[in-house]
Structure 1
Amino acid sequence: MFNVPQALKRLVIGKAMRSEELGETLLPKRLALPIFASDPLSSVAYATQEILLVLTVGGTAFLYLTPWVAAGVVLLMAVVVMSYRQVVHAYPSGGGSYEVVSKNLGDNAGLVVAASLLVDYVMTVAVSVASGVDNIISAMPSLADYRVELAVAFVVLLAAMNLRGVRESGKAFAAPTYLFIGGILLMVVTGFVKVLSGHTPVASSAGMGIIPVDGKDTLAGLGLLMLGLRAFASGCTALTGVEAISNGVPAFRAPKSKNAASTMSVMGITAVVMFVGITALSLITKVHYVDDACQLTGVPGDCKTFAQPTVIAQLAASIFGGDQSILFYLIQAVTALVLILAANTAFNGFPLLASILAQHRYLPRQMHTRGDRLAFSNGIIALAVVAGGLLVLYKADVTSLIHLYILGVFTSFTLSQIGMVKHWNRTLATEADSAVRAAAQRSRVINGFGAVVTALVLVIVLITKFTQGAWLAVVAAVVLWVMMRGIRRHYDTVAEELAVDDPHAESVRPSRVHGIVLVSKLHKPTLRALGYAQAFRPDSLEAVTVSVEKDATRELESQWDEYDLQVPLKVLDSPYREITKPVVGYVRTIRRTSPRDAIAVFIPEYVVGHWWEHLLHNQSALWLKSRLLFTPGVMVISVPWQLSSAGRADHPSRRAPGSVRRGEPAVRSEHEKIPAPENA
């Protein structure tokens, strides 16, 4: 019988892969770059914009700070990339910052990093997709009313692509990433050629004045310093996703560490070149970008409805000739596409980290399970759901979402660099080889400098962004940390409780086994359950029914005597028409009478084949099972009877008694007391 859900699943994610095919999913460097580095590469599209957004609160007076802020971001990028190259070589197993911190600073510190990164991965998806939609709207303003719908649709599309597997998503996303790099570099080179030839491009907003926010144009001293630091903190969004390569080392082809380190270097150099080019051209072309369009003077029409083109859109228009140029639309298209695909970095990093945490028992074990295409499907779906919810909640607004961003990533940067310093200290304490010691000392200097710089940035980000919404990210990370500690505590408690202390004492047989077959009517499922129960040869066996309707109970007793089934039938009264309570009470009474006995409860059930058939039956059996399972010394045994609708090609008569196929429809109990009789 044709299975529609399975057909749709195969259409979306493709044919299932065998576990031994995992090696075929390993990535060459050309695919690893767009998969793991699309976030830091694409963030240059809005990092400059975020710097300008902060500095223009004072009008144009403080735009002279832009080169200094950008230089700070570039220096920080170089330090972080060099530091993470050390992580890749020292810890190639793929734990990244989490593994470094856990092994060197302890489990609690490691969980701080893990919680921070998980929150930051969610924000990466939300911010990247929202920014991509912004660029689409810059080219097609008519889509502004569908901002949220577009953002959520892109998240669903990204999740579907990643469910197809890492390698497949890499192939799909490689071309847009490389087109974006090529397009931005072409724009930067063309812009500088025009400047050098005396035809300096002019941005569309260059002629618009900027009205300073009240009192902000006269900032000096500490106020000016805080403004510069806030702009620097906003510009540090260019560093988001840098750590993803260190988390994804196992996904690289051999030699894994070398290939991962090389990819990280290429990513760092490319991102710096693009960021510097965009920032320089923004100043040269006099791009003006503000938080509120009503800050601008000379805006065409109503400032409240005026949609500011993004910095990239203004540069592309001034350099390539506006909306009359194919290259303008190409830049907008690839920028929007790569910003949306930048979320793919999180769709690879989040499931990998969640899988490691699940393996260490800090997240549900389902997060460590690979799906049909050998991707960590549960992590992908969880990320898509949470990020989609944020986009709806914040109406896919980049400015609102950006304040929740980058706090987590600098927490992981700082702690991982401190952890690496401790790692090199331990190496130097035990290593005698002079060459190895010299390399370790160089690495310690790099990581030590990285720790100081990233800690300083973390403080700056915390101070400048906390009241603007970053406190929500802090709260989310704290809640996640507490939750992960609770999950680990639960798993540890379960493991301790299940551990075998005395194999002989704990495998002792019960004194007797008392069998109970639950009966509602006398039909084929009931007779099969009786036969199975007798095959188990319990020390005693009885059938039990609950009397809800007197006439039906008398008819059942009459049939029981007529068929001479050789199994006594016990009737439990139920004046309030309950089924579960009388059965559970009777079973517990037997347990109290004979605590060393075991009780086996057999429940005859049948299997329905269609979803709508489930609606025709109540759920009393599920509740009854759940109550019985909480009773010590009681075993619940389901005896299925497959109806013909459960599979025409696999009729019950052609199967071994009681067998159930993989993926078979849900089971419904025949122990369902309903007024009208049912036909088997």
Structure 2
Amino acid sequence: MLNAIKRVLVGRPFRNDRLPHTLLPKRIALPVFASSALSSVAYAPDEILLTLALAGVSAVAFSPWVGLAVMVVLLTVVASYRQNVHAYPSGGGDYEIANENLGKFAGLTVASALLVDYVLTVAVSMSSAATYLTTAVPALYGQQALIASIGVAILAILNLRGVREAGGLFAVPTYIFMASILGMTAVGIFQAATGQLREAPSAGFTIVPAPGFDEGLVGLAGAFLLLRAFSSGAAALTGVEAISNGVPNFKEPKSKNAATTLLLLGVFGASMLAGIIYLANAMKVHIVLDPATELLVNGLPLPEGYIQSPAISQIAQTIFGPGSILFFIVVAATGLILVFAANTAFNGFPVLGSILAQAGYMPRQLRTRGDRLAFSNGVLALAAGALVLIIAFGADVSKLIQLYIVGVFISFTLSQLGMIRHWGKHLKLARNKTVRRRMFKSRAINSIGFGMTALVLVIVLVTKFEQGAWIAVLAMVILFLIMWSIRAHYDNVAKELAVDEDSSPRALPSRVHAVLLVSHVRKPVLRALAYARASRPSRLDAVTVDINAEETAHTVADWEKLDIPVPLTVLASPYRDTITPIMEYVKNMRRDSPRDLIVVYIPEYVVGKWWEQLVHNQTALRIKTRLHFEPGVMVASVPWQLKSSEEAKNLQDIQ
């Protein structure tokens, strides 16, 4: 049944030779890998506006300058990452760059930062999408966490079906979003130029400044608030790094196609961000953290039940009219792109997890591809982490955004420093003037990128640490320690299992002592007895535990009645415990003959229904678990197929 459900949700498995068919052309790669950065125009302007609103209406007028600073950083990072994808096309991205050029410590720092940021990308994008849905359907207000959780589950299922299939599904809505935002911006600019642009619904509201900002952006507090607004708007850069991690998913020539996709991301992302911030400023869009206490209308608090709409929603309503088809297209496209933005993380997280697993820093289950050639375990791990955050923070974007972008700027900064080291090492070896000139240019771009991202990282840490960024930093530290300990465990196991002089293949145990566990004299026990005798051990004993005197006597009588040429030993159990007497028996054998190999034969039922497993084999499972910790002891499970198992097998063959 579970297999049938899996096939309906995920689809039929793909052969290994289908892997080249899952690679993405540029037209599909753009919505798959760049949707996170493109979708940031749905919440980055809001974060800039509500942060500046703490200092009142006059401070909101600075939003275009803050937006301009964010766009400069965005274009610089895009230019820097175009150098990255040419130099490191293997898909390791920032982790590989930092690990190779700065050492394992830096590489693992980048990896932990990116993994945490990928989880936050899904949580923030889905929570923001749920917020946009409630603006279009107010009846759903208050159910954002449930809506976001359902969205994560759906997105996980789509990605389990394969990268290309998910990408093809997301391409059209992503392009509709880009067209709707750019089209709305063009119409808004035309209306502004012709004097037809109206004010936003929130333009008439008065913003109540927060304590300490009564005089606006003045002094050190005002400068700090500007930096905080900039760090919130810098969320627009999240997702840029996903393209460098996903280079292996591009069609040939991989590096060139990835670099072109990065260029398109920079151009479209900066254009849309500039348009939204310009229109929000021209229409006097007012957004605050708590409308009930920070907004006034005619000197009075807002009516109870007022729902604050995001900037794009207010702009679309003002330009196209409330309830118009174009308004709903813009809002729906924005909500969809926010859902699909999480898909960027669903492509980056599993690939990075696989690379880390191959290096021994993550569980090896993340290393392999699933039925549909996607890294299924990585997809499931990301979905689980995002659900925890969504539920814990109630899908509140304003709270989640404070945890955001810290990790991505750590990876930005270390990867750019690694690229500077990379070009420095290669310049020492290069002799061709043209090649050296190109390397000098690339190093200069990465140097500018390093300086800018390092500055932004400092700003983000200073302005966001107390707001919640410390939680993300703590999560990175914990994840770093976990990965370091996993690698140490794998290294210790490899040393322990390495072949040495004492583990020669010619070394044999002195004798083989077989032990057959008997509960009742039935067909499974007789089959296990036959297998044990066929292995020709040096000695063969059968044991049964005396839990019930009457049943034990019946078992002994049946054993003698069949005239079985193997002695049956009855183990006393005054406390009605099955496992302890067996373990004591085996330990005594080991103590008497430490060089002997002991093989314990355990008859087991093979069942066809899940509930049958609950009523069979539980004692056998506990015995096997205990025996696995005993050195010099092997466990041989002898299966007996019940009728239900044959029915289940036939059903699988039909499917």
Which position in structure 1 is the counterpart of 2:572? 573
Which position in structure 1 is the counterpart of 2:229? 231
In structure 2, C-alpha distance between the alignment counterparts of 1:302 and 1:494, rounded to whole Å: 64
1:16 to 13, 26, 33: 13
Deviation at 1:71, TM superposition (A): 1.3
Q: What is the one-letter code of the residue matched to 1:493? A: N
In structure 1, C-alpha distance between the alignment counterparts of 2:144 and 2:503, rounded to whole Å: 66
In structure 2, C-alpha distance between the alignment counterparts of 1:511 and 1:126, rounded to whole Å: 60
Contact 2:126 2:339 in 1 (8 A): yes
- Quick one: structure 1 residues 291 and 312, their matched pair in 2 at CA, closer, same or farther if it must change by over 3 Å? same
Which position in structure 1 is the counterpart of 2:311? 311
Which position in structure 2 is the counterpart of 1:263? 261
Give the stretch that moved more between structures: 337-346 or 641-650.
641-650
Which position in structure 2 is the counterpart of 1:81? 78
Q: What is the one-letter code of the residue matched to 1:419? A: G
SS at match of 1:216: coil
Which position in structure 2 is the counterpart of 1:175? 172
In structure 1, C-alpha distance between the alignment counterparts of 2:3 and 2:96, rounded to whole Å: 38
Deviation at 1:505, TM superposition (A): 2.8
Which position in structure 1 is the counterpart of 2:511? 512
In structure 2, C-alpha distance between the alignment counterparts of 1:161 and 1:425, rounded to whole Å: 43
Q: What is the one-letter code of the residue matched to 1:88? A: V
1:379-408 deviation per Cα after TM superposition (whole angstroms, max 9, x unaligned) = 111111111121111111111111010000
1:246-305 deviation per Cα after TM superposition (whole angstroms, max 9, x unaligned) = 000000001100000101100111000000011111111111111110311218985553
In structure 2, C-alpha distance between the alignment counterparts of 1:5 and 1:481, rounded to whole Å: 35
Deviation at 1:623, TM superposition (A): 1.3
Contact 2:357 2:364 in 1 (8 A): yes
In structure 1, C-alpha distance between the alignment counterparts of 2:638 and 2:504, rounded to whole Å: 31
Contact 1:356 1:368 in 2 (8 A): yes
Deviation at 1:581, TM superposition (A): 1.0
1:504-533 deviation per Cα after TM superposition (whole angstroms, max 9, x unaligned) = 735411111001111011010000000000
Q: What is the one-letter code of the residue matched to 1:360? A: A
Q: What is the one-letter code of the residue matched to 2:95? A: Y
- 5 Å matches for 1:208-607? 208-218=205-215, 219-293=217-291, 294-298=293-297, 302-303=302-303, 305-323=305-323, 325-502=324-501, 505=504, 507-607=506-606
1:413-467 deviation per Cα after TM superposition (whole angstroms, max 9, x unaligned) = 0000000000000011111111111111111111111111101100100010000
- 5 Å matches for 1:135-146? 135-146=132-143
Contact 2:295 2:301 in 1 (8 A): no
Contact 1:57 1:217 in 2 (8 A): no
1:195 to 192, 195, 198: 192
- Quick one: structure 1 residues 514 and 52, their matched pair in 2 at CA, closer, same or farther if it must change by over 3 Å? same
Q: What is the one-letter code of the residue matched to 2:288? A: V
- Quick one: structure 1 residues 618 and 649, their matched pair in 2 at CA, closer, same or farther if it must change by over 3 Å? closer
Which position in structure 1 is the counterpart of 2:64? 67
SS at match of 1:469: helix
SS at match of 2:61: helix
In structure 2, C-alpha distance between the alignment counterparts of 1:558 and 1:309, rounded to whole Å: 82
Q: What is the one-letter code of the residue matched to 1:187? A: M
SS at match of 2:141: helix
Contact 1:129 1:151 in 2 (8 A): yes
- Quick one: structure 1 residues 117 and 662, their matched pair in 2 at CA, closer, same or farther if it must change by over 3 Å? farther
Q: What is the one-letter code of the residue matched to 2:412? A: F
Contact 2:604 2:617 in 1 (8 A): no
1:206 to 195, 203, 207: 203
In structure 1, C-alpha distance between the alignment counterparts of 2:338 and 2:196, rounded to whole Å: 30
Task: Find out whether 1:129 has 2:126 as its counterpart.
Answer: yes
SS at match of 1:546: strand
Deviation at 1:63, TM superposition (A): 2.1
In structure 1, C-alpha distance between the alignment counterparts of 2:615 and 2:60, rounded to whole Å: 70
SS at match of 1:647: helix
In structure 2, C-alpha distance between the alignment counterparts of 1:345 and 1:268, rounded to whole Å: 16
Q: What is the one-letter code of the residue matched to 2:213? A: K
Which position in structure 2 is the counterpart of 1:658? none
In structure 1, C-alpha distance between the alignment counterparts of 2:434 and 2:305, rounded to whole Å: 64
- Quick one: structure 1 residues 418 and 507, their matched pair in 2 at CA, closer, same or farther if it must change by over 3 Å? farther
1:522-549 deviation per Cα after TM superposition (whole angstroms, max 9, x unaligned) = 0100000000001111111111111111
Number of residues paired by the alignment?
Answer: 650
Contact 1:61 1:217 in 2 (8 A): no
Which position in structure 1 is the counterpart of 2:31? 34
In structure 1, C-alpha distance between the alignment counterparts of 2:370 and 2:176, rounded to whole Å: 31
Deviation at 1:614, TM superposition (A): 2.5
Contact 1:230 1:461 in 2 (8 A): yes
Deviation at 1:83, TM superposition (A): 0.7
- Quick one: structure 1 residues 507 and 120, their matched pair in 2 at CA, closer, same or farther if it must change by over 3 Å? farther
1:347-401 deviation per Cα after TM superposition (whole angstroms, max 9, x unaligned) = 1111111111111110100011211111111111111111112111111111111
In structure 2, C-alpha distance between the alignment counterparts of 1:507 and 1:172, rounded to whole Å: 59
- Quick one: structure 1 residues 92 and 230, their matched pair in 2 at CA, closer, same or farther if it must change by over 3 Å? same
Deviation at 1:648, TM superposition (A): 2.5
Contact 2:608 2:647 in 1 (8 A): no
Contact 2:70 2:230 in 1 (8 A): yes
Q: What is the one-letter code of the residue matched to 1:151? A: A
Which position in structure 2 is the counterpart of 1:25? 22
1:545-597 deviation per Cα after TM superposition (whole angstroms, max 9, x unaligned) = 11111121122111111111111111111111111111111111111111111
Contact 2:162 2:373 in 1 (8 A): yes
Contact 2:514 2:600 in 1 (8 A): yes
SS at match of 1:403: helix
- Quick one: structure 1 residues 302 and 285, their matched pair in 2 at CA, closer, same or farther if it must change by over 3 Å? closer
SS at match of 2:569: strand
Contact 2:295 2:302 in 1 (8 A): no
- Quick one: structure 1 residues 176 and 650, their matched pair in 2 at CA, closer, same or farther if it must change by over 3 Å? closer
1:312-336 deviation per Cα after TM superposition (whole angstroms, max 9, x unaligned) = 001001111122x100000000000
Deviation at 1:145, TM superposition (A): 2.5
In structure 1, C-alpha distance between the alignment counterparts of 2:327 and 2:574, rounded to whole Å: 79
In structure 2, C-alpha distance between the alignment counterparts of 1:455 and 1:650, rounded to whole Å: 60
In structure 2, C-alpha distance between the alignment counterparts of 1:80 and 1:276, rounded to whole Å: 17
Contact 2:78 2:266 in 1 (8 A): yes
SS at match of 1:322: coil
Deviation at 1:92, TM superposition (A): 0.4
Contact 2:406 2:457 in 1 (8 A): yes
Contact 1:183 1:331 in 2 (8 A): yes
SS at match of 2:550: helix
In structure 1, C-alpha distance between the alignment counterparts of 2:76 and 2:503, rounded to whole Å: 60
SS at match of 1:448: helix
Which position in structure 2 is the counterpart of 1:104? 101
Give the stretch that moved more between structures: 154-163 or 221-230.
221-230
Contact 1:206 1:285 in 2 (8 A): yes
In structure 1, C-alpha distance between the alignment counterparts of 2:646 and 2:575, rounded to whole Å: 38
Q: Point out where structure 1 has 5 or more consecutive residues left out of the alignment.
A: 652-660, 664-680
Give the stretch that moved more between structures: 618-627 or 422-431.
618-627
